Amino acid sequence: MTDNGILRIIARFLIPFIMLFGLYIQFHGEYSPGGGFQAGIVVAAGWILFALIYGLKAGLEVIPEKAMYWLAAAGALIYALTGVASVLLGGRYLDFYAFEAFFNTPQAAQQFGIITVEFGVGLTVATVVMLIYTFFVRRKSEWDEVMRGSDAE
């Protein structure tokens, strides 16, 4: 697909809108259907479309595989540390009312907590899905090499 000009032009216009929609889902998720998981899938789908059109090598230049590992771990850590912070502030795990000490209303504390947790979930989901795609593409290319080798014999 990397040599198809029409797909490259369409993808060049479509991918930014996919990413923007993923961000919209991420930060509007507490008000409407959506949230971290859905946003992570949409963002990963945008990156996968980029990797399908321009190649995995180009996709890994945008977000290297090592960065994906770090971002996945960071997302899980954000989620966990938000819960631990609420415990340290005297609440239960992921009880966002404990953040009231930093905000002037309980609603602001709740909103901060849910946005933080959903951001961690979205970051983890997006990078894990990207990693799964990367593993499948590499596995397929390894399989193709094995099959070409057996054809030569």
Render the burial of 80-101: b for 16+ CB within 10 Å, e for the rest.
Answer: eebbebbeebebeebbbebbbe
Domain locations in the chain?
5-152
Residue whose entry in the numeric block shows the structure tokens 């960071």: 74
For the stretch 30-53, pLDDT in tens is: 676 678 899 999 999 999 999 999
For the stretch 62-97, pLDDT in tens is: 999 999 999 999 999 999 999 999 999 988 998 898
> pTM value?
0.85
Q: Provide the terminal-to-terminal Cα distance of the chain, rounded to the nearest Å.
A: 30
Q: Percentage of the chain with pLDDT > 90?
A: 61
- Taking alpha carbons only, the member of 80, 11, 88 closest to residue 45 is 11
